[in-house]
């Protein structure tokens, strides 16, 4: 008996899992906030203002915690809501028209046809790949991330990298900030104010943040390597060993292809209008290549 099941459409079910991941992310943030701010460091800041060492320590930890929380939440919202970049409608037709207008039809040299997606029925610009979950081609696709219910591509890759970085820093800070509570609790300090329920919250928050910090460290290192070589996760399998990647322009220009040239905005999920206009790679259609590499 024949089957008409489309396996690519089944991939769309992963989007449902993605919405659950958003709720899980919010729950972990809330749990960490409760453990770090309300149980551990908040009381030191508001209940012991005359104990200056404790006050300033609590102020510094809480300030850094909230700064990182704002930045990671901002980056997360940006990578969730911003489109990674879609192929313009009838892109192949437009490119062919441009080629035909540059030459006389009778004397025009033969030109290779642009890549074509049989599922989207459209042309594929360089570094573009089809996402089976989103059911479309994505510009400079890196991967589909279930944590953000979105593809990571040309127009939101910076936001994704900042989200990774700030989440790693926040989870690491949470782990370090909760260590004193464990020391007081297990050290037999009779003055600790932790209830069994409060300790359970701190213990769970510590385990979750430690697990995320260790796993995110691997992703941060991997994506820094990809960023500095101007490579996506998909393209790792396309690069030829022993040949320098044709999009590798040097680490400084590779960095600017993703983060822009405005240093003041590097740490924020924002782009300047000038960078969006002057750096084609940020739009995801055209990418400069090394002049000494045959393409």
User: What is the pLDDT at residue 106?
Assistant: 43
- Please state the length of the chain: 295
Mean pLDDT across 217-230: 95
Give the pLDDT band of residue 133 (cuts 50, 70, 90). Answer: confident
Q: What is the pTM of this model?
A: 0.85
Residue 132, SS3 per DSSP: coil
Does the annotation mark 145 as catalytic?
yes
- Residue 149's nearest CA partner among 54, 9, 251, 12 is 12
> What pLDDT sits at residue 120?
81
Across 254-261, average pLDDT: 96
Among residues 131, 134, 137, 145, the one annotated as catalytic is: 145
Average pLDDT over residues 119-141: 88
User: Does 207 have pLDDT greater than 50?
Assistant: yes
Taking each helix axis from N to C terminus, what angle separates 14-33 and 157-186, rounded to the nearest 10 degrees? 40
């Amino acid at each position: 008996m024949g089957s008409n099941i489309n396996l690519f459409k089944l991939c769309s079910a992963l989007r449902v899992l993605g919405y659950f991941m958003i709720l899980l992310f919010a729950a972990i943030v809330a749990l960490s906030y409760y453990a770090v701010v309300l149980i551990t460091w908040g009381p030191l800041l508001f209940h012991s203002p005359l104990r200056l060492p404790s006050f300033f320590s609590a102020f510094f930890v809480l300030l850094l915690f909230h700064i990182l929380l704002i930045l990671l939440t901002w980056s997360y919202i940006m990578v969730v809501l911003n489109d990674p970049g879609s192929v313009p409608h009838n892109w192949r037709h437009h490119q062919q028209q441009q080629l035909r207008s540059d030459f006389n039809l009778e004397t025009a040299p033969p030109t290779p046809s642009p890549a074509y997606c049989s599922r989207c029925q459209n042309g594929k610009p360089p570094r573009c790949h089809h996402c089976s979950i989103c059911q479309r081609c994505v510009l400079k696709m890196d991967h589909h991330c279930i944590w953000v219910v979105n593809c990571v591509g040309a127009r939101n890759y910076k936001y994704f990298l900042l989200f990774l970085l700030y989440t790693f820093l926040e989870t690491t800070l949470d782990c370090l900030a909760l260590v004193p509570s464990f020391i007081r609790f297990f050290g037999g300090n009779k003055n600790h104010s932790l209830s069994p329920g409060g300790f359970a919250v701190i213990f769970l928050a510590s385990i979750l943040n430690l697990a995320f910090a260790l796993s995110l460290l691997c992703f941060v290192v991997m994506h820094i390597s990809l960023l500095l070589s101007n490579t996506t996760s998909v393209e790792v399998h396309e690069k030829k060993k022993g040949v320098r990647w044709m999009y590798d322009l040097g680490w400084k220009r590779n960095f600017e292809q993703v983060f822009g040239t405005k240093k003041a905005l590097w740490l924020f999920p924002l782009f300047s209008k000038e960078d969006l206009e002057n750096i084609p790679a940020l739009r995801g259609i055209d990418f400069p290549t090394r002049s000494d590499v045959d393409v």
